[in-house]
């Protein structure tokens, strides 16, 4: 019988857990909004979600071989500790040890975008290729880099923190403490901010109707939806600006690593190809270094979509306990 692993994705707005088998297939998933009370309650929620996912997959908790967690920040893989996350209030949390009080299985930690990269490399858009970069567009912007089958971790595991490359000196303040980070222009949160600013400048935009006159109702999808459905110029300008900044970082990553494949994942990557992927590919083609079309990175969508992080987290358990 195929072994089963639980993957947990700690996101900026929700917590997800899923059971994955040895082939990387997601068998079940459970989700709950992210809430903070105490570290213990947070970890208890993670354990509860894991049990829920196991139940939904028709297995008992004792059949879970290992649990892997994708964390939106810096982790100490050796001690199972979350060291620092800039978009949610987690720091110095020995999550592995706490988790085992509820569910006594081996627990492995990794950065969330690194998890997504592992998943795409082994079971998604990067299957069979030499090198792959995944860029995740959610609450923050993350990147995971796999070169020749090996995850690039750097001296402290934080290699690939591409969301915190500065793309605008003295730009928008970032939660990491710097200004002008890529994440402040290419994340879902950034998209909301750019949309809000555009609406404040343009009181006649159809975006106002879409949001029922309330700025709080803007979502990361508003601009793309209104651009598509109403052809609204303000919404279109927001989308153009967003894709422009997205491309800027993507081209920088391609020029640095020249991977076989660069894929974009996370919530924003669900937008229609005509609005997001195709204009991104056009800019990349114009601006990247390396002009031999037969030997340039393919820019695609993450094949595992928003489940990449979850699947990759579960694969950590498979890699470690095999
Ligand atoms: C964090 C990364 C994370 C990314 C996506 C960034 O703000 O620094 O570690 O991968 O958000 O969650």
Q: Taking the chain (322 residues) in consecutive chunks of 10 residues, what is each chunk's mean pLDDT?
A: 93 94 94 90 96 96 96 97 95 96 97 97 94 97 96 96 98 98 98 98 97 96 97 98 98 97 96 97 95 91 94 92 70
For atom 9 of ligand 1, the residue with the nearest CA is: 73
Give me the helices (H) in the chain, please. Answer: 39-56, 95-102, 112-123, 183-186, 188-201, 206-210, 222-230, 233-257, 277-287, 308-321
Q: Which distant-in-sequence residues (6+ apart) come within 8 Å of 259 by Cβ?
A: 129, 130, 131, 132, 133, 145, 147, 253, 297
Distance 101 CA to ligand 1 centre (A): 27
Cross-strand partners of 236: none
Q: Which atom of ligand 1 is nearest to the CA of 164?
A: 8
pTM for the model stands at 0.96
Sheet with 107-111, strands from edge to edge, namely 26-33, 14-21, 4-10, 64-71, 107-111
pLDDT at 322: 65
pLDDT at 1: 74
For atom 1 of ligand 1, the residue with the nearest CA is: 73
**What gap in Å lies between CA 81 and CA 94, rounded to an integer?**
4
Burial class for 136, CB neighbours closer than 10 Å (0-12, 13-18, 19+): buried
Distance 152 CA to ligand 1 centre (A): 15
3-state secondary structure of 39: helix
- Residue 213, phi-psi category: left (phi > 0), alpha (psi -120 to 50), beta (remainder): left
pLDDT at 321: 74
Report CA dihedral (46, 88, 251, 253) to the nearest 10 degrees: -70
For atom 11 of ligand 1, the residue with the nearest CA is: 140
């Amino acid at each position: 019988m195929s072994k089963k692993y639980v993957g947990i994705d700690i996101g900026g707005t929700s917590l997800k857990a899923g059971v994955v088998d040895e082939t990387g297939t997601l068998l079940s998933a459970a989700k709950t909004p992210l809430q903070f009370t105490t570290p213990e309650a947070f970890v208890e929620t993670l354990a509860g979600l894991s049990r829920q996912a196991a139940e939904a997959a028709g297995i008992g908790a004792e059949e879970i071989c290992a649990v892997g967690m994708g964390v939106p920040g810096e982790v100490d893989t050796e001690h199972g500790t979350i060291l620092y996350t800039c978009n949610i209030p987690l720091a110095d949390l020995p999550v592995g040890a706490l988790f085992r009080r509820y569910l006594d299985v081996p627990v492995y930690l990794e950065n969330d975008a690194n998890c997504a990269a592992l998943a795409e490399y082994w079971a998604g858009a990067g299957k069979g290729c030499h090198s792959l970069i995944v860029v995740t567009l959610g609450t923050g912007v993350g990147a995971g880099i796999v070169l020749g089958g090996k995850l690039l971790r750097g001296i402290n595991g934080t290699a690939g923190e591409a969301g915190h490359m500065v793309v605008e000196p003295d730009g928008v303040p970032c939660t990491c403490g710097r200004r002008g980070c890529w994440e402040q222009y290419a994340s879902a949160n950034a998209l909301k901010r750019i949309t809000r600013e555009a609406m404040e400048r343009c009181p006649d935009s159809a975006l106002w109707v879409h949001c029922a006159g309330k700025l709080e109702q803007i979502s990361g999808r508003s601009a793309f939806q209104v651009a598509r459905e109403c052809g609204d110029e303000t919404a279109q300008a927001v989308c153009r600006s967003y894709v422009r900044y997205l491309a800027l970082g993507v081209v920088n990553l391609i020029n640095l690593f020249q991977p076989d494949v660069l894929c974009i994942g996370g919530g924003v990557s669900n937008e229609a190809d005509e609005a997001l992927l195709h204009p991104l590919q056009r800019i990349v083609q114009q601006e990247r270094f390396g002009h031999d079309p037969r030997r340039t990175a393919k820019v695609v969508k993450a094949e595992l979509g928003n489940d990449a992080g979850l699947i990759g987290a579960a694969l950590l358990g498979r890699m470690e306990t095999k």
